[in-house]
Amino acid sequence: MGVGADVGAAGAAGAGAGHLVPRGLPREDNREWGGPQPVGSAFPPATLRSGTGRGPRPPALPPLRKGVRTVLDDRLTEQRNPRSAGLDSLEPLAFVRLLSEENREAVEAVARVEEAVARGIELAEAALRAGGRLIWVGAGTSGRLGVLDAAEMPPTFGTPPHWVQGVIAGGHEALVRAREGAEDEPAAGAAEMDGLAVGEADLVVGIATSGTTPFVHGALGRARSLGARTGFLLCTPPPPELVERHDVVIAPLTGPEVVTGSTRMKAGTATKLVLNAISTGAMVRMGKVWGNLMVDLQVTCRKLEDRALRILRTALEVEDDGARALLEAAGGEVRTALVMGRLGMGADEARRRLEAAGGGGCGGAPGVPAARRWGCRRRRGGRVTVVSGPGPAPVPGTDRAPVPGIAPGRPRRIAGLMSGTSLDGLDVAIVTFRRIAGDPAHPPHPGQVQHQVEAFRTHSWPDAMRDRIREATLRGTPATLCHLHGELGEAMARGLLETLEEVGLAPGALDAVASHGQTIWHSPPGPGRRGATMQLGCPATLAERTGTDVIADFRSRDMAAGGHGAPLVPWADHLLLHREGRSRALQNLGGMGNVTWLPADGERRQVRAFDTGPGVALLDECVRRATDGAESFDAEGRRAFRGQVDRTLLARLLEHPFLRRLPPRSTGREAFGPEFVDAVVDRVSPRTEADWNRLVATLTAFTIETVARSCRDHLPLSRTHEFVLTGGGARNPALVAGLRAALDPLPVCVGAESLGVDPDAREAVAFAALGWAHLEGWPAGLPRVTGARRACVLGHRTPGGARP
């Protein structure tokens, strides 16, 4: 199957169960949405039980004639329901039973579109993280449900009122009195969007069970023209043009109503379920709960105060007096009180800890073992001391146990090892870090650290090793992976020792080695799917050969916290490469491409980063095949310059589903590797040198466009002062020239020109910084970037020999 066909098949698979239909991919018929089919087949008459009723019944209308028409309108929500044709003759119990059966249809309809609902959560989260809003737009019942959902967010999750907003046709009066005519004015919907100053950071979701409400269509059309992302929620099969127009279309097909056309019933139930799922899911992703506790609720009444106290009693296993003392000391802030109780610190320190953790979770506070009991007592000044069971004494002022043999506060010399998906070789950076300002209990900010790169070397992999790594990513068996794990550990140890010898340092001069390892597989999490990642290069072998502590397996902890485990480099980029007053985008072109955007003000929460797609992996693989392994990359971009881009093939490649995903997102060779190139080669069947050059040129154009499109869609390029290229792809003139053209007028430069460092060293230095963070006990990684629930101390430590 060729790449285009493969992408089309993936789109069809996404639509087949009533889930998300990707933009631009056609539906074959309404059955793809997985909902009820025409009335005669989907809704057979039900046997209705009679109940007991009292009191006079109103006179019955004449019975329906046999064969009466049940399809009154093409819209599914307007058709007659044969199961309720005798509704006016039912006793109350029979009516309730019928209604219960029909409401089950609403729940099942929402279950059939779960992937589309999950996509809605991703879009809502992305909007909120970008400083935007989630805006519901509807008329009548749909509008009221949107306003209700928005109104419930501040008291439940402690959100600012503007985060989630509801717009209803007819304004406030329509909330308490029907104004059905208001829904017929598309210009009024557009005016509402202008009034809200909708922009590119916002997500606007129209709610119209029939799919035809002019007010909603007018609002969405205006929102799109203003650059916002848009979604549509309806309960009838959507036409193809609607699917293509919006970023997500959610269509739970609930079928005809019990009372014909009364969409406040099943369609309203399904609508409420979807709205609840999207807004609640987005809040959970934004860190507004801890476990399943609503730790950001606003204590505005006695009921909510009681709930807050129950949360503290449950989470901390304290008595009423202890919980109340914590809540009072925290000024009614439940999350702050939890951190105070967990870590035994005052309110101000707890708030700083939460800020360092990105505002989510509970500031790195650990879970409490079921057997442990906590007691609280008030101290002077309103502070609360937590008395817990035995455990290692933390470093004063922190929640972290000291690393044996390492004295806190002194400079650290760390060796950072990096072997990327380009398979070029092993990068070794020897870096010394010194904290010069700030509280040592918390991760530093830009300007609080001095670092010096004492040495940087790249040790190329022998061809045989490179081939074995490539083969392991495709067809690795348990035996081959185990052997390669140990052999890579040996090779990494040799590369590190050679580097140390060249610069006259003994292994004992290092505080630790921070090794990323060689990625063999990386599969990010998705709806209903856990993420998985594997890096080879045995840390125990490294520790044994060098006698030095080794910190490795950085990605796993972030994935355990719900993140993608990538990209991790942005934490170090923010710390080491920020330039005051200038925002910059740092685009790495290794095997895969990833970008970090650093704000001019250095605010950690504003950092953005994500994988853009392929870097040089596709180009390298194509060149190897074109030359039967004689060449391993497109030197100086010569093949790309000689070839002409196949525009038809390029258009098909750009339909790849990854490019439609919102950050947080990550990818690897499992998506853009040898199998991808197999599919392309099968499609175009290159035979001559010119054919292969044409393919290299097309894949180069594809790589350029994935970077440019990703950055245009997800970064504030209008507020970006410079775009810096790093990694092996920064030495490819064809990629550099193409990106300069695609991003014009934004200045695009190669790393050494702007950063003042070797662009190849960036990732090895970054992992040295992550190793330093591990030694200091600092949470690293950026939850807003990786999607993790909280920032964690990354990596596992393998002790080396005795320190001198």
Q: Would you please indicate which residues are annotated as catalytic (active-site) residues?
A: 152, 183
Q: Counting Cβ atoms within 10 Å, is residue 733 exposed (0-12), middle (13-18) or buried (19+)? A: middle
* Amino acid (1-letter code) at residue 667: T
Amino acid at 430: I
Residue 501: phi and psi, rounded to 5, are -65, -40
The answer to whether the CB of 211 falls within 8 A of the CB of 186 is no
Tokens of 173: 């009066």
CA dist list (Å): 165 to 1, 145, 201, 269, 279? 45, 11, 14, 20, 11
Strand ranges (E), 379-503: 384-387, 412-419, 425-435, 449-460
Strand, helix or coil at 288? coil
Q: Which residues contact 123 (CB under 8 A, 6 or more apart)?
A: 203, 229, 231, 247, 248, 662
DSSP for residue 438: S
Q: In angstroms, rounded to a whole number, what is the distance separating the alpha carbons of residues 661 and 508?
A: 46
Coil vs helix vs strand at 633: coil
Give dist(CA 124, CA 132) in Å, integer.
Answer: 9
Burial class (CB in 10 A: 0-12, 13-18, 19+), 462: exposed
Phi, psi angles (nearest 5°) of residue 544: -70, -45
What CA–CA distance (Å, rounded) separates 710 from 764? 25
Q: Quick one: which H or E segment has residue 608?
A: strand 608-614
Adjacency order of strands within the sheet including 608-614: 608-614, 592-598, 584-589, 722-726, 748-750
Instruction: Report the candidate in 237, 241, 250 with the shortest Cα–Cα distance to residue 278.
Output: 250
Residue 387 sits at φ, ψ, to 5 deg, of -105, 115
Residues contacting residue 242 through CB under 8 Å, at least 6 positions apart = 211, 232, 249
Q: Residue 726 belongs to what H/E stretch?
A: strand 722-726
Start-to-end CA distance of the chain, whole Å, equals 60
- In DSSP terms, 656 is beta-bridged to none
Q: How many helices and strands (H and E) does the chain possess?
A: 28, 19
The DSSP secondary structure of 201-221, one letter per residue, reads T-EEEEE-TTS--HHHHHHHH
Closest alpha carbon to 694 in 651, 654, 650, 652:
650
Angle formed by the axes of helices 689-714 and 674-684, nearest 10°: 130
* Closest C-alpha among 45, 780, 41, 30 to residue 444: 780
Question: Quick check: bond before 567 cis, omega within 30?
Answer: yes
* CA dist., res. 231 & res. 290, Å (int): 29
Contacts of 221 (CB under 8 A, 6+ apart): 186, 190
Angle between helices 478-502 and 539-546 (to 10 degrees): 30
Residues in Cβ contact with 445 at an 8 Å cutoff, skipping those fewer than 6 apart: 438, 575, 602, 604
For 265, half-sphere exposure in the C-beta direction (CA atoms, 13 angstrom radius) is: 21
Cα angle, residue 522 at apex, residues 631 and 730 outer, rounded to 5° = 45
